[in-house]
Structure 1
Amino acid sequence: MLKRITFLVIVIVLAKPTYDFGLTLYEDAKQYLNENNINIEDATTEVISSVSNTAKDTLIYTAATVKNAELPSTVKTVEELADAFYYYFSNWETDFEITYVGSTTDIENLIESAVDLAADRDHYILGHLSNRKIEYEYGRFDAKIKVHQTYLTNAAQEQIVDEKVASILATASPESMSDFEKVKFVNDYIVKNAVYSEDSTASPHSACAVVAEGKGVCQGYALLALKMLQGLGIETKYVVGEVYTGGHAWNLVKVDGEWYHLDTTWNDPTPDRKNVVRYEYFLMNDTKMKKDHTWIQSDYPRANSKKYAFMAQIDHAYEEDGMIYYSNVNDDNILYRMNIKTGESSRLTDSRAQFIVGFGDWIYFSNYSKGAYLSKIRTDGSDETVLYKEKVENLFVEDGYLYFSTDDGLKKLEL
């Protein structure tokens, strides 16, 4: 007797909202530079790590050797059957066979239960499972189960993920970081180093595409966040639900004993704004998340705390010495500063700011109260000055220079 079961995993895609910015005048900029003797250099042809298109080496993946752990020749219970499935899933095996000895009266449900138990052991594996075909031949007290399982990744890609995640986490100091700081570290890294895109060599739904190529969709963002957060010792879950565009994925994280939602995808602006991190979907509770996300709430722990609700006001953030300098989305994008430990915040100036960076005692930003001109202000809020009367964006600091984009290309200013 032969039966066949086929399971499908739905691939999740998200389209995100866009952002608009203002205009400026070119001739005024030239006149201003002449009058104030500011040396702005052209940097369009420079190869800059922070603003290159993160051109990645072409990734060619081959099958990796399966671990040499032994499996019993036969399994006798649903738990042992789940053990066998988990073994093959965790080794990213595509074709395998399991011999079951026991009553086959309810063999179909037995296999489905074992698969569910195996997948639920590790949400990282669960999120990478794709199409599955199961065929089985059985008598009254035994069954031969043949499985063809596909994944959104493979063993070789996962070796790349492990190596890259280990390298990234090595730059942190988890022993001295709070749970909050660990989650922020992961959110910031993914947002700054990934672009929402389906144009990747690896599956854009995989963690590998996001960490190795800097491209991916919500599923890849959430799976990479899961991997990184677990590496930092943060209890994390992979959440599948829906938003207005359809299927969507994000995370639940436990911070100081409380569960919160974290959506790294929706914290990453589109079109991509280099080095710009949002926190609108950072450590949210169920009430806030339900405004534009839906999920089967009984499948996940409840998130009730409002402790970090203040983070949602932050955009274009720059962090230094325990302070965050940011564009306040709740106050017309005015430049604010916040004590990251206490959550206390105040206006730094009355100017509207975006693309905020810092160097020494100075904060640099695109001043949208003055034509999006390049401006600077001290960290204490004094000495605000316009440096360049032309629209600027995508500010970043590297090797003692402030780089920024203009309609005339990339420019730089020695600091």
Structure 2
Amino acid sequence: MIKKLFKGIIYIILLALIGYCSIKIGKLIKYKHDESKLQTAENIEEAANIINTSLEKKKADSVSMFIKNIDESKLGEINQYLPSISGSVDSYEIYKSSGKTKVKFVIRQNASTYVYNLLTSSTPIPANNPDADKLYSRVLEIVNKYTYKNMPDQQKVLALHDYLVDTCEYSTGNPNNDNEFRAYGALIDGEAVCSGYAEALTLLLAGAGIKSDIIIGSAGNEPHAWNLVEIDGNWYHIDSTWDDPKGMNVVSHAYYNLTDDEISFDHVWQKGGSKKASSDDLNYFKSSGTIYYTESDFSTTVNILLQSTPKNYLEVAVKDVDIKGCLNELMSASGRGNLTYTHIDRLDSTILIIFK
């Protein structure tokens, strides 16, 4: 899991590997049982997908499957690929039967799971779970403060996304601090890695009555997590981690409400199923009218917006224009001798963050 490489006058490079909870390795056992209904995973991502699908259908204490062509020593990394909102792997046992390898993954629930179940199915949090109780109270506090009953869903999602990006700091991940990988770290401690951001947004949206999934994939050839969110009947990708560029103190929307094609520019995941993100109706820059197609429109409008915004930066998008030409036009229109900015290349546009 890595942060986006931002290019321009400001360069930020951040590489952070997603961590995972320690997993107990089970002993090798000969096993014989009715295994006709078990699925077979041929890579670690498929194994995680089988676990997640099983947990979405029903609560389970364990999930079993056959594995093929998977290095057994890599099974301890399964939580890197598992959306832990449904539960995470606590331990596993390996069985050998008729030349096949079967693995039984033992599942544990955590504070995020308990809170999610309470928000979505009214399942009470088990007794003696103070972290879950605290996390639940925090989710309700944020949702009640930043959204209201008849607020349109698209405004709710934007408000909760912006809150999360503004208040959480990206962490490089301490394997000894499980909170950094959970929603608890993002919403209580204010520090998390990508899985914590994704969990936190899922809980906040659930508290606001909005459906979302956690996508486990990769970005920059490293494991990464982000969200798939349903707004007004359409699904959109939101990567709140990459919308929080470390060290810049900005709330970006470069990875907000993207289609499958748009986020595929630099994110990879196992596609399939019925949840397709194909609409760009709520693309942040399209819906806010801050995407520009000519240098003259850019310089005139952006100069006005840059002077009027209460923030110390302005975020806009440009398409089919010369960026240097746009910035030169802006400097001429504003009377400035220089500009501090960064830019983020997208599939068919460029996002500019220009500082005052």
Q: When the two structures are superposed, what TM-score results if normalisation uses the length of structure 1?
A: 0.49
User: Deviation per CA, 1:289-313, whole angstroms, max 9, x where unpaired?
Assistant: 221112111146111112123x247
Are 2:256 and 1:282 aligned? Answer: yes
- Residue aligning to 1:257: 233
1:183 deviates by 0.9
Aligned partners of 1:352, 1:331: CA distance in 2, in Å?
16
Are 2:170 and 1:170 aligned? Answer: no
Q: 1:300 to 1:251 in 2, by over 3 A?
A: farther
User: Deviation per CA, 1:216-264, whole angstroms, max 9, x where unpaired?
Assistant: 1111111111111111111111111112241111111111111111111
Task: Work out the percentage of aligned pairs sharing the same amino acid.
Answer: 21
- Residue aligning to 2:222: 246
User: Deviation per CA, 1:195-214, whole angstroms, max 9, x where unpaired?
Assistant: 11135654322111111121
Do the aligned partners of 1:238 and 1:250 also contact (CA within 8 Å) in 2? yes
What secondary structure sits across from 1:272 in the alignment? coil
1:135 deviates by 8.8
Aligned pairs (5 A) from 1:324-339: none
Root-mean-square deviation (CA), in Å? 4.8
Aligned pairs (5 A) from 1:192-211: 192-198=166-172, 201-211=177-187
Aligned partners of 2:237, 2:182: CA distance in 1, in Å?
20
Counterpart of 1:132, as a letter, is S
Aligned partners of 1:208, 1:193: CA distance in 2, in Å?
13
- Residue aligning to 1:231: 207
Counterpart of 1:254, as a letter, is E
Are 2:272 and 1:272 aligned? Answer: no
Structure number with higher strand proportion: 1
Counterpart of 1:277, as a letter, is V
- Residue aligning to 1:350: 303
Aligned partners of 1:175, 1:312: CA distance in 2, in Å?
26
Aligned pairs (5 A) from 1:11-160: 13-18=1-6, 21=9, 104-106=33-35, 109=38, 117-121=54-58, 125-126=84-85, 128-134=87-93, 147=106, 149=108, 155-160=129-134
Counterpart of 2:159, as a letter, is F
Aligned partners of 2:111, 2:133: CA distance in 1, in Å?
14
Q: Number of residues paired by the alignment? A: 255
1:160 deviates by 2.3
Q: 1:183 to 1:217 in 2, by over 3 A?
A: same
Q: 1:15 to 1:121 in 2, by over 3 A?
A: farther
Do the aligned partners of 1:203 and 1:209 also contact (CA within 8 Å) in 2? yes
- Residue aligning to 1:46: none
Aligned pairs (5 A) from 1:180-199: 180-198=154-172
Aligned partners of 1:247, 1:193: CA distance in 2, in Å?
23
Are 2:185 and 1:216 aligned? Answer: no
Counterpart of 1:105, as a letter, is D
Aligned partners of 1:313, 1:278: CA distance in 2, in Å?
15
Structure 1 regions of 5+ residues with no counterpart? 1-12, 23-93, 96-102, 137-144, 315-323, 337-346, 374-383, 394-404, 407-415
Aligned partners of 2:180, 2:294: CA distance in 1, in Å?
36
Aligned partners of 2:91, 2:56: CA distance in 1, in Å?
12
Aligned partners of 1:392, 1:115: CA distance in 2, in Å?
44
1:273 deviates by 2.7
Aligned partners of 1:291, 1:227: CA distance in 2, in Å?
27
- Residue aligning to 1:378: none
Aligned partners of 1:171, 1:206: CA distance in 2, in Å?
22
1:352 deviates by 8.5
Aligned partners of 1:308, 1:115: CA distance in 2, in Å?
28
Q: 1:157 to 1:14 in 2, by over 3 A?
A: farther
- Residue aligning to 2:29: none
Aligned partners of 1:197, 1:273: CA distance in 2, in Å?
14
What secondary structure sits across from 1:166 in the alignment? helix
What secondary structure sits across from 2:92 in the alignment? strand
Aligned partners of 1:263, 1:365: CA distance in 2, in Å?
20
Q: 1:306 to 1:114 in 2, by over 3 A?
A: closer
Aligned partners of 1:246, 1:146: CA distance in 2, in Å?
23
User: Which structure would you say has the larger Rg?
Assistant: 1
Do the aligned partners of 2:243 and 2:256 also contact (CA within 8 Å) in 1? yes
Are 2:270 and 1:296 aligned? Answer: yes
Counterpart of 1:118, as a letter, is L
Aligned partners of 1:171, 1:352: CA distance in 2, in Å?
28
Aligned partners of 2:130, 2:212: CA distance in 1, in Å?
24
Q: 1:17 to 1:149 in 2, by over 3 A?
A: same
Do the aligned partners of 2:170 and 2:193 also contact (CA within 8 Å) in 1? yes
